Chain A
Amino acid sequence: MDEKPQNVHSGGGGYGPCIATRDSKPRDRHMIPVWFFVGVLLLVCGLIILATGIYEFSHPPPTVLASLHPALWWGALLTLVGGVYVYFYWPKKS
């Protein structure tokens, strides 16, 4: 937001003034948003866990409630969420 500067004073280092209330406009960096990386992480982890969940139909792990197949539906959930994030935050070429 644009605000009239009320006063100037040094910004914590004593070297050079800075505006008291004005917020600097962010530079246009074309940085890949962090949400894309979140999506990639969830997608890859989701696919690995989903594959494991499918494998567990024939080789169930010795865990409590293994009959609910948590790896299968949790892997599917991560794959879905990760895929959505990757799709929506895919880096666009300028």
Chain B
Amino acid sequence: MSTTAAFTSDKDFLAGMYQKMLTIRLLEEKVLQLLMEGEVPDLYPCAGQEAVPVGVCAALRPQDLITGTYRGMGHMVAKGADLKPIFAELYGRKTGCCKGKGGAKHLAAFDKGVMGAYAIVGASIPIAVGLALAAKMLGKDQLVACFFGDGASNQGSFHESLNLAFIWRVPVIFVCENNLYAASTPLKTSTAVDHIAKRADGYAIKGLTIDGNDVEAVYQATKEAATRALRGEPTLLECLTYRYGGHFAAEDRIGWNYRTAEEIARWKKQDPLERAEIILKDRFGWSSSEKKMLEKGIREEIEEALEFARQSPPPQPLEALEDCYFEMDHNFLWRWPE
């Protein structure tokens, strides 16, 4: 594993990252509960991986862009998206961040630079290269961080995109959230290399493997990658991490069983939130009352967002025909029931 120069946050900065991670954790807890109760139909959990989006986005500027995956709640919160439209989207409401059309797999906040989440594995990688190409061609002071998993690194789009990023010298950071499993398939049995970062060598870009559960390390590595990106030097940043929940929320209910309890317990000892909390306490004398205050505030925010979603009207059925080029003739002029 590569190490980057030791980085020491100041208290507020680290507490800010911790707050974001805790928001993601608590938000997911809440949504999973609602899912069990049948109120929310779909979710792809990311608990355990919070340090990656939070550390990366902490190193980005407001004008920088990200592309996410269907495991996208963390990316949204980390880049500063409001919780209300997230909740409303999960509920399929008109006030959702995609008007209820994208749903859990397609969270987006264009005003915050979250340029969509993509439910085809590896799909966002060429798009991120294109976003970065436009940033370069238009002379924008902007870079793009592209999130994807270890499974995506076996898609052709990954390999095509790294090659394009190098030959076009675009400002992009490829952030691989390596949680060791592509759905249920272990990295070991599906992937020729033990570390995804090695694949950078094939495309003449810098590849780094870092501890993805150390939010400061993720921040620091991204900061350095951002400097390179703005010089037109892409980086493949592999963040080793682990997802506690299923690939999809209900996988254990249909009998998926591919990880041992010991393995999960081992990773939980490396929990990104607990590690940040320890640093906050040891280094900055953070008190448990400060944590409680933080948690209380987040829980309130979540409840407000949930209430917003529940109170929001569902979309009208005819709105299904909006937001797409749609041939009115085809469906209505030609004998459609009134």
Partners in one complex: no
A interface residues with partner B (beta carbon < 8 Å)? none
